Chain A
Amino acid sequence: MSSVRQWWIVLLALLLAGTARAEDLVIPGSGNPEYVLDQLARAFNARQAQHRIVIPPSTGTAGALRDVGEGISSVGRVGRLLKDEERKQGFVFISLGRDPVVIVGGAGVTVRSLSAAQLVDIYSGRITNWGELGGKAAPIRAVGRENSDASRQAIAKVIKPFQEITFGPGVKTVHLDPQLIALLDRYPSSLGMLNRSALAACTTRVVHLALDGVDPTPENLEKGSYPAWVELGLIHKPNGLTPAARAFLDFIRSPEGQRIVRQHGILPPGMAG
């Protein structure tokens, strides 16, 4: 009798210890939602002690697909909608919202707007100096992205020549958003493209250029007048959400989570024009 009771106590203690232990949920993947997710994670971690969300440096959407696919992580972060073959592999997409892709200049750039054609000319190597565009003379340090990159694909969707562009010799190609941000910060006359919320990670006063005269604001995106955007989201496998993941998703959908999302210029799901 007493031994049975002792075993019950031990079992109960183990269960309590199990529930009490905080789960570290690492959400690897794309750089596009990195900044906003990091902000959400900080708020979530501050609100409760049971789970801890970790947003590691970007490994790209491919990294998210790989890690979730191999079961290394239960949730991954992506900067685009899933492709058909990815959905067929069983990935489930949870949208965080739409984020405008911004044509961004370094802190020293004085030009405030670029046309699509000018952008194509810059990246093709035909225009190399801001002076040619009416700005203060400085070499245009154009930073390109791989054609698999979400931001580049968002631009290429709007500016068709971008789909088959060959970058000029002076254009450098980086893989990840933080690398782009580092170059934007280092080269005042640089030029790149990145979703708006991620640019919050820049340490210098980077310049958001209007595309064909339309500013990349959430308002313009919501109105539908600004055409380039990425769909930020999280992916997981069916029934693959851990309690921590569910709690974090609940937090994102909570008013506070939505406030943080909006604060970073992201148009929540279903709000886009």
Chain B
Amino acid sequence: MQRGLFSRFSLHFTLVLIFALLAGLAQWTAFRVSGDTLQATVDAQEIEEIQTVGRVLQELLAEHAQRARLTARLIARGDSLGRHFSSSQGGDAAKTLRQSLDNARVVSELGLIEVTDDREIVLYRSDDAGSGGDRSSAWGVFEALQGESILASELEAGTLTVRAIEPIRSQGQVVGTIGVGVQVDSALFQKLGRELATELFLVARTGQVLAASTTRPRSLDPSLVQEALTQKIPVFRQSRESHETVGYLPLMIVDSAYVVVAVLDGSTAYQRLDEGQERAVIYTLVIFMGCSLLAILLLRWTLHPLYALRDKAEGLARELTGSGITAKSGNEVQVVVNVLETLTSRLVARNTELLEAKQVAEAASHAKSKFLSNMSHEIRTPLNGILGMAEILERTPLNAEQDRYVRAIGSAGRALHELLGDILDLAKIEAGRLVIEQTDFDLQALLGQLVDIFRELASTRGNILVTDFRLPDRLALNGDPTRLRQILSNLISNAIKFSEGGTITLGVSPLNPRPDDDRLWLRCSVRDTGIGIAPEAIAGLFQPFVQADQSTTRRFGGSGLGLVICRHFVELMGGTIRVDSTLGQGSTFTIDLPFARAVAPLAEPTTAARSVDKIRARILVAEDNPVNQVVIEAILGQLGATVTIAENGALAVEALQQSAFDLVLMDCQMPVMDGYGATAAIRALPPPWSRVPIVALTANALPEDRQRCLDAGMNDYLSKPVRIQPLLACLLHWLPAGASASVAASPPPATLPASPSPAALPVQTSSAPTSLLDRSALVDNPSFNHPGTGKLVERVIALYLDDTPKLIATLRTRLPEPAWPEVTRAAHSLKSSSAAIGLASISARAAHIEALARQQDAAEVATALPGLEAEFAQAVPELRAELERLTGKSPVT
């Protein structure tokens, strides 16, 4: 806080100081300028005053001269002077004249009276300088004797006199002159100086001071006197120190030029100037203070948001990063910048951390997804075995108890299969890899299939499944029918699961068209009269791994993923899902989904296939593994199809072009040309070959594999080992309507008793606990022991015994210098054929080796190979024994 205070003070202080200094400077400049102007004005006034003094002085001197002239005239016209001149000029008369002129001088208060005769001889002179007898050379005497009145100046013995000279007449004759003079001396100047309040000096051309108004000594500049005279204009000097203005005024006194020096004391005016300047200083200080105050207030107001920003940033930093920001010292702006920079760098660092954490989390999530899919694959492979076995077992003669057990195995297996599917789906959704397809489909057909499937299932729990379709008979849409089926299946199976003896209603109706949306919106609802959902549980219903009641998991089973997946699917399809439920009364799940119109019109319905007896189709099987060839051929043959085998992709492409086929079953892993390449080649052929449906057959159960198949141009996907039911469903789906005939959708286990007693359960499957061979897969599988299949099982076993050592040899021989594609293919082939013949553990070992080969881990393959070889060696006698048995007796039934 102390730092904050200091930094705040610094910017404040700086700016306030600048403001105040600028204001003070402006004020000071203004005063300075006005002061200068005032000073100039005062100076000019002083000069003007001095010039006035000069003029007034001239007038006063003129007045004095006039008085002298009047006096001279008065005396000249008086009788006494004339009488004197007319009488003799001596003795008493002269004395009398002198007396009377002396009186006249006293009365007139004028300094000088001079009287001459008509020969310019001075008869009288009042100052007694030359009391008589001298000839007057003064200007005007000669002229006065001519009868003129003359006013003249006379500089005599350091005294300037202005004289009025008048002629003295006697009987019409000029007999003499009288001059009355005013002495322009210090006495006169003292008087004039007082009148004009000025110090005055009269200076001659020589620089001599002729008169002064003061006795105070003053040095006058002779050069300025000369300048005034020669330039004939006044010269002024002003002294700031002594507050004086000195004017050297060239002045004509009657008829001669002199210089009058006038000294004006301007101290009063200058004092006023000084006072003004003092006031200016005080005003400047006041304005300085005022501006400082104003600047402080203004800055506080202006910078307030900045402080608020800093506080906010600091608070944010504390909140986000847990520690406050210790800003470096500096002014407010620097502090704010510092705080924001620190905050930014912390946020950047935090962001980086979060990004890294996100990447770690994503990597973890990806690893999880990968793990999930791998695990599900790993689980699915044996599970497929279990399901297949259960299915086959179901078709063998069983007693009631056995039948129940087998059904339980099948049911549990399917549940597990579904769960795996759900987990895979969810993993894909979370990984963002789920793609919604856009294909044309028949909605009515889809709904019909669903109802058919679930009606029976519903009845098992005493429920009735009713429909409420408000749709045209056939509605072609474009969207993802698989996901729609999955969603509805999930909702219906949930409804069945949570209802007992109730009614489940599947309703589908179109919604009103939405503005600016030409898609068709459908509302699908699944309503049940089941146990319902508690209001507080509804919120968590669509969250992963949540069921309405945790106890339901135990009571009703289920992964708790179904609704989550439904929600994701619906949202990915651009729709919404919601639930309305009353506890104890039932629930209604409603989804609103948009669909585009179908691109092409619907094909004729193929639903009839569901009740066909036989498939009359020509099917090309591309499969390199001899065992698998035989197995598939047998199954298809049992279904009534005509089978052609091609041993690799290239041969398949060739075969396809040589004769017509309704469908191709394509193994993916084959030598020469694999299934993907073959599919691409077929799709590149001209029609009709390019249009043939291609269904992938692969032991790879990973979701990516399916996608890869579809990407390659295949239409569907079946995982190995091939089971009859999915194969049939798939064929019915893809074969043209005319290709299927009268085969039951679920090939009836016609040869098996409907409900065999538990006691009659064959025990041969479990007779040899150490046996590797799963007899149900092939040896005892009714599909392969059908009257039409001939010596199929024999052939299969013989082929397996013949082929497997070659494959193992391939693994061995290629291993030291691994040719990974061959090793992988051999392992794959071994995995596939072993599974087909019922050697699950060998298949698993082969699968393991295949996985290792894909990772190109030679050491691990080398480690795993002996186990495979050992198990095969173990299986060989059993297979041979079986072969002997088969050749010795006819197949079952």
Contacts and interface: CB of A to CB of B under 8 A. Distances in A.
B231 interface: yes
Contacts of A179: 252, 255
Contacts of B229: 146, 175
A179 B253 CA distance: 11
B562 interface: no
B137 A175 contact: no
B580 interface: no
Interface in A132-153: 138-139, 141, 146-148
A128 B229 CA distance: 25
Interface residues of A, number: 24
Given A174-B256, A179-B255, A188-B146, A141 B232 contact: no
Nearest to A146: B230
Contacts of A66: 233
A128 B137 CA distance: 10
B250 interface: yes
Contacts of A172: 139, 153, 255-256
B137 A148 contact: no
A186 interface: yes
Interface in A154-199: 170, 172-176, 179, 183, 186-189
Interface string A101-119: 0000000000000000000
A174 B257 contact: yes
A148 B232 contact: yes
A147 B232 CA distance: 11
B437 interface: no
B150 interface: yes
A59 interface: yes
Contacts of B150: 186
Interface in B457-489: none
Contacts of B884: none
Interface string B230-260: 1111000000000000000010100111000
B452 interface: no
B143 A188 contact: yes
Nearest to A58: B232
Contact of B257 (A146, A186, A188): A146
Contacts of A146: 229-230, 232, 257
Contact of B232 (A62, A186, A187, A189): A62
Contact of A187 (B139, B233, B250): B139
B635 to A, nearest CB: 105
A240 interface: no
A148 B232 CA distance: 9
Interface string B123-147: 0000000000000010100110010
B142 A138 contact: yes
Interface string B582-616: 00000000000000000000000000000000000
A110 to B, nearest CB: 14
B257 A170 contact: no
Contact of A183 (B148, B230, B250, B255): B255
Contacts of B255: 172, 174, 179, 183
Interface in B194-251: 205, 229-233, 250
A60 interface: yes
Contacts of B250: 175
A63 interface: yes
A62 B257 contact: no
A175 B234 CA distance: 12
B858 to A, nearest CB: 102
A173 B142 contact: no
20 contacts: A62-B231, A63-B232, A66-B233, A128-B137, A138-B142, A139-B137, A139-B142, A141-B139, A147-B230, A148-B230, A148-B232, A172-B255, A172-B256, A173-B256, A175-B250, A175-B252, A186-B150, A187-B139, A188-B143, A189-B142
